[in-house]
Structure 1
Amino acid sequence: MTWQWIAEQDPRWDQDKAAALGDLPPTLFGLGHPEVGRPLGDAWWRVEDGGGSPIGYGRLDDTWGDAEILIIAAPAARGSGVGVFVLENLEREAAARQLNYVYNVVPTRHPYGESVRSWLTSRGFTATEVGELRKKVASGAAPGGA
Structure 2
Amino acid sequence: MRWVRETPAHWDADKQRVLGDLAPELFGFGSPGVGDVLADEWWRVEDGDQVLGYGRLDDTWGDAEILVLVDPQRRRSGVGAFILERLEAEAAARHLNYIYNVVPDRHPDPEKVTGFLAAHGFTPNAVGELRKKVPAEGA
Q: Could you state the TM-score of these two structures normalised by the residue count of structure 1?
A: 0.93
Within 1, Cα distance between the matches of 2:117 and 2:79?
14
Question: Residue 37 of structure 2 aligns with which residue?
Answer: 39
Within 2, Cα distance between the matches of 1:36 and 1:44?
16
1:54-97 deviation line (CA, Å, top 9, x unaligned): 01000000000000000000011111110000000000000011
Q: Which of the numbers 109, 115, 120 marks the counterpart of 2:117? A: 120
Question: Residue 13 of structure 1 aligns with which residue?
Answer: 11
- Does structure 1 residue 72 correspond to structure 2 residue 69? yes
Question: Residue 100 of structure 1 aligns with which residue?
Answer: 97
1:73-124 deviation line (CA, Å, top 9, x unaligned): 0011111110000000000000011110000000111111011101101110
The total of aligned residue pairs comes to 139
Within 1, Cα distance between the matches of 2:92 and 2:16?
28
Q: Could you state the TM-score of these two structures normalised by the residue count of structure 2?
A: 0.97
1:141: how far off? 3.2
- Could you list the runs of 5+ residues in structure 1 that have no partner in the other structure? none
The one-letter code matched in structure 2 to 1:23 is D
What secondary structure sits across from 2:88 in the alignment? helix
- Could you list the runs of 5+ residues in structure 2 that have no partner in the other structure? none
What secondary structure sits across from 2:105 in the alignment? coil
